[in-house]
Amino acid sequence: MNKDLEAEKRLAALEAVKFLKPGMIVGLGTGSTARYAIEAIGEMVKEGLSIRCIPTSNATKELAQGLGIAIIDINSIDAIDITIDGADEFTEDLLLIKGGGGALLKEKIVASLTKKEIIIADSSKKVAVLGKFKLPIEVIPFAAGHILNQLKLLKGPATIRKVSGKPFFTDEGNYILDADFDSIKFPALLSAELNNMIGIVAHGLFINLASTVIMGINGATETFNKV
């Protein structure tokens, strides 16, 4: 069956924005799915919803400002009420791979400060085991070669992400390495190993960060909650 993934993304986004309430501090994700939520929030703001938002990338900041959404500095607040963000892969028990759009560092910081992290996704993102999607790893360019060697030893051979033949730079001026672990059977273990590698700024394994995943499927939505 040919699925309309764009419609699924939109449905998930529209379901997620129902959680927003006046006065909330809201994290805004990055990517094509998060975009649907940001556009819907823009409409809600035009209709009078008063919220303050924290973007997870320069692109999201620009989009949100263009829609009249109030942006605040993350260092001016203690916590974020709700964040709505996308994912590259998720499991039913809310493990995620993120960073396909290269915004994983700010996405992870924002998620770590968020009380309710809502992930929105189309049905192609749901997997039994993470790892088919290459794991994005943000590294300081100075350390890239050494991290590539260490990833090979960890059985996750990686390449430096390129755009039009040139290295892709994150908003913070770092590289993204895309690591092919194929099937990540022990995500928490891998996450801990990557956290210990000097030169890695952030990696795309999000563990214990999502509260809910809302997935669009067959003209409806399905919700997976933290147990």
Point out the residues that are catalytic. Answer: 107
CB of 97 to ligand 5RP, least distance (A): 8
Closest C-alpha among 155, 69, 80 to residue 114: 80
Residue matched to tokens 């028990």: 93
Question: Which helix (H) or strand (E) is 41 found in, with range?
Answer: helix 32-46
CB of 69 to ligand 5RP, least distance (A): 18
Distance CA 59, CA 30 (A): 8
CB-count exposure of residue 95 (10 Å: 0-12, 13-18, 19+): buried
Question: Which helix (H) or strand (E) is 105 found in, with range?
Answer: helix 104-112
The residue ranges that bind ligand 5RP (CB under 6 A) are: 29-34, 85-88, 98-104, 107
Measured from the CB atom, the residue of 34 and 69 that comes closer to ligand 5RP is: 34
Measured from the CB atom, the residue of 81 and 88 that comes closer to ligand 5RP is: 88
Contacts of 140 (CB under 8 A, 6+ apart): 174, 175, 199, 201
CB of 222 to ligand 5RP, least distance (A): 17
Contacts of 223 (CB under 8 A, 6+ apart): 15, 212, 213, 214, 215
Measured from the CB atom, the residue of 62 and 149 that comes closer to ligand 5RP is: 62
Distance CA 18, CA 34 (A): 14
Measured from the CB atom, the residue of 81 and 117 that comes closer to ligand 5RP is: 117
Give the tokens for residue 112: 């770590």
Give the tokens for residue 126: 């749901």
Distance CA 5, CA 32 (A): 11
Measured from the CB atom, the residue of 146 and 168 that comes closer to ligand 5RP is: 168
CB of 6 to ligand 5RP, least distance (A): 10
CB of 81 to ligand 5RP, least distance (A): 19
